[in-house]
Structures are given as C-alpha cells and as structure tokens.
Amino acid sequence: MSAAEARPATLVGITFVDIGGIARVKAVPEELFERARQHGVGASTTFAVFRGDDLMASAHDLEVPVGDMRLMPDADSLAGPVDGWAWAAADLHDVEGEPLPTCARTFLRRMATRAEQAGLRISMAYETEWYAERIADRSPVHDGPGYGLATLADAGSYIRTVATRLAAHGVPLVQIHPEYSPGQVELSVAPAEPLVAADRAVLARHAIRTAQEATGVRASFAPLVRPELLGNGSHLHFSVWRGDQNLLDPSANDATGRAFLAGVLRELPTLAAIGCASPLSWARIAPSRWTGAFVCWGVENREAPLRLIAGSRSARPGSANAEVKTGDASGNPYLLAGAVIAAGLAGVRDGAELPPPVDVDPARIPEEERSARGIDRLPSDAESAAAALDTSAVLREALGEVLADVISAVRRSEAADAAGLTPEHLQERYRWRY
C-alpha cells in the first residue's frame, strides 16, 4: 500500500465572503496551512467587486485585473477536518501585509473594537434557514406540516446528519427543526463575540452544503427558491453588555441599551442594503409575511424588522436580545454584523431615543397614521437601498469610502442586469448560488 493510499490527503478550504454574498475558497494541503497563515494565498483584487452571478461591478477601478491580494487564514477559526476537508476564515490583505479596505472581516473586527472602547461587549448569533431538496427527484425533503413532529418521518434522518456534521465542524447547535415551508429547515447556534458569530454563519452553511454526498439532499440558502415556497432569511440576533449586565433586558430599562436599539432602528433602510445582496431579496421582504417590511421595532413582534426578545423568566436577564430581520444568506454576514454595531454605537453617541414599540402588524395600521409615526416601508429594491447607503453618514463613515462605494456599486450593477427578468428566471439563476 502506498503512502497516499494509507493516508488520504486533507485539504484546508480558506474562505472569504465577497460583497455579492458568495463564500469564495482557495484550498491548500494541510501541511502547507502554516505557510499560508504566514504568507497568505494569492487571489485577484477583482473579487472586491464580484456579484452573486460571478460578473463584476465597477468601483474604484477594482474591476481591473491588475494587482494581487493575499488571503490570510485565521488559525483561531480552523475547523474540521470532515471528510478530508478542514475550513478556515481569511482576512484580505495587500501584498505588503496591510488589511484591504474591502475586507469585510476586518471591518467587523474594527466595529467590535469600537464597542469595546465604548465599554460595551456585543454578543451575536445568526439563524440559518434553507431549502433542502432531494437530488434524485427534485422533491423537498419534507412537505409539512410546518414544525410538525410527523415531518421528521421524512426529514429526521437528514436533520440528524446535518446536526452531526455541525458538531464535527465545532458549530454549537442550539436548536434545529423543519420550518413552515415545504423543504425548509432552520437552525440556531450559540451566541458568541461578533467575529466568531459571523464565522459560524459561513461554516454552518458549509457544513449543510457538504452533507449533500452523504444524504442525497441539496441545500439552497437563496432568499426565494421556487414560486410556491416561502423565502429564506438569515436573522441576526444580538445583545449588548456592560460587564455582566445585559443592557437589553427590559427590566433594566437601561438608557444605553435603548439608545443602541434606537441607532439600529434609524439605520434599518441602510442595513437592508447591506444584508440583502440578491435581486430576489426584495421580493422576500413583504408585509404580513414575518419578514419585517416596515421601519419599526416591537417587543416579541415578528412583523417588526427590529424585534426585542425578553426571553423566558427563568433565563433572564442573560437571554434578552434583539433580532434584525432585514437580511438573508445573500448578504455578507461580516458586513451586516459590523453595520449593526456601527449603527447601535452611533445611537449611543447621539443619545438616540426609541419611539413607542409597535405591537400590531404594521401593515394593519392606516397609512396616514403610519406616516405620522415614521413607520415607513423598507426599501423595496436594490436601487433605493443603495441610495439609503449612499446618504447614511453613520455607515459610510464606519465602512469607509471604498467599501461603502463597492457595496452600492455591486447592488446596483446586479439589479440592473436582473431588471426585466421574471421571478421564475431569477430563481433559476440564483437558486444554487447561495
């Protein structure tokens, strides 16, 4: 038996998420990982303006294929190996070793540091929703009932395999269940500091996708998968701490916690531009669909895009958190997490005040009253979302000119190419991209 037969090769997938929301990868043999960690792995600088359909936008001449960047894997993120593959998240540096202004992971790290400098600790976690389809006959892995115990007769084996693979990758699963729409599954993971939370979002999707060979089931994280199905979101949960005190615990009635939420609330239109990268994203966000279509907040209101969750009495105050619903898996999780922190910190800086919570479906509030209360619709297309980003002093300062311009350019470019296409055509185009 040869050495190769005795010990199969292990590869390390070194990944980053681009502005179009696609997780890109370059792989090295495990014995070369340390070298990659020290010197990086080369990649084209044009990835900064890649779209979700693999075409390029134009911004700051980054579409010109001249120059090199280095993918610098973070050894602390290393996970696996599973099936001969390990995984690591990468920062994007130039050839002189400096972080690139378009590196989303560096942006998130910078925002988390800002929070620490303000005496705050942010804890985060992403929910993950996806559509699971049997390859053999293109049927959904379950057809309901939503959240039904009986549904496990169809999907139980698949869900168990996914849970096993998450554990093997070191992703701490909290709960997993069949969701409302046929074939839809949802999971939650344990909260962590922001960079780890975003890494886990990427890694969880990787673990789910690579269950395909073992299960014969293909996973799609696209915002909308098929015309008859509901959409997939990627909701971001966060809590704000000062020492051991959870500032979002309603019983604390903390001014800093309220101001942080107020800052997030006023930037919701811009957060939509960051958390929704696909032309399909805007069709997913609709009134009375639990997706949060109006700029408002509420306590345990699943129609509010900013939802405050007190948690059960026995788990308080630690369980209190807020949920931002204006994102899906086409959005870069590092960008959205960093933008939420930036918005919240600006609210704290400005002493922003929360308006009264909305305790009904905002779509049922008469339009005149909604207008008077500032309960406006979130952007309904990429152009208006990009315009919100262009005029947001808070997030343009936090992101920096180059990164903010690139996000707007990528959103507008992809939307322009998608204009005029039917929803069915768009779903075919993007179904397996995310």
For CATH 3.30.590.10, the residue range(s) in the chain are 109-430
For CATH 3.10.20.70, the residue range(s) in the chain are 9-100
Q: What is the mean pLDDT of residues 257-284?
A: 95
Cis ω for the linkage preceding 355 (within 30 of 0): no
SS3 125: strand
> What class has domain 109-430?
alpha beta
Alpha-carbon distances, residue 376 vs 242, 278, 328 (angstroms): 32, 22, 21
- Residue tagged 């900013």 (tokens): 306
- Predicted confidence at residue 311, as pLDDT, reads 76
- Predicted confidence at residue 6, as pLDDT, reads 54
- Calculate the average pLDDT of the chain: 94
CA distance 194 to 112: 7
Alpha-carbon distances, residue 204 vs 130, 234, 309 (angstroms): 11, 12, 24
- Predicted confidence at residue 1, as pLDDT, reads 41
At residue 9 the predicted structure's pLDDT band, cuts being 50, 70 and 90, is confident
Q: What is the pLDDT of residues 31-54, one digit of tens each?
A: 999 999 999 999 999 999 999 999
At residue 10 the predicted structure's pLDDT band, cuts being 50, 70 and 90, is very high
Topology given in CATH for the domain delimited by 9-100: Ubiquitin-like (UB roll) (3.10.20)
Q: Which residues of 213-250 are buried (b: 16+ CB within 10 A; e: fewer)?
A: eebebbbbbbbbbbeebbbbbbbbbbbbbeeeebbbbb
- Predicted confidence at residue 44, as pLDDT, reads 96
CA distance 19 to 14: 17
In terms of residues, how long is the chain?
A: 434
Report which of residues 243 and 318 the model is more confident about: 243
Residues with Cβ within 8 Å of 168's Cβ and at least 6 positions away in sequence, in order, are 80, 82, 207
**AA letter at 62:** L
SS3 217: strand
Q: What is the mean pLDDT of residues 97-116?
A: 98
Question: Is the CB of residue 194 less than 8 Å from the CB of residue 113?
Answer: no
Q: What is the mean pLDDT of residues 140-152?
A: 94
CA distance 373 to 367: 10
Burial status of residue 9 (CB atoms within 10 A of its CB: 0-12, 13-18, 19 or more): exposed
pLDDT at residue 212 greater than cutoff 70: yes
- Predicted confidence at residue 350, as pLDDT, reads 97
- In 351-392, alpha helices (H): 367-372, 382-390
pLDDT at residue 232 greater than cutoff 70: yes
Whole-structure pTM value: 0.96
CA distance 200 to 182: 25
Question: Is the CB of residue 389 less than 8 Å from the CB of residue 396?
Answer: yes
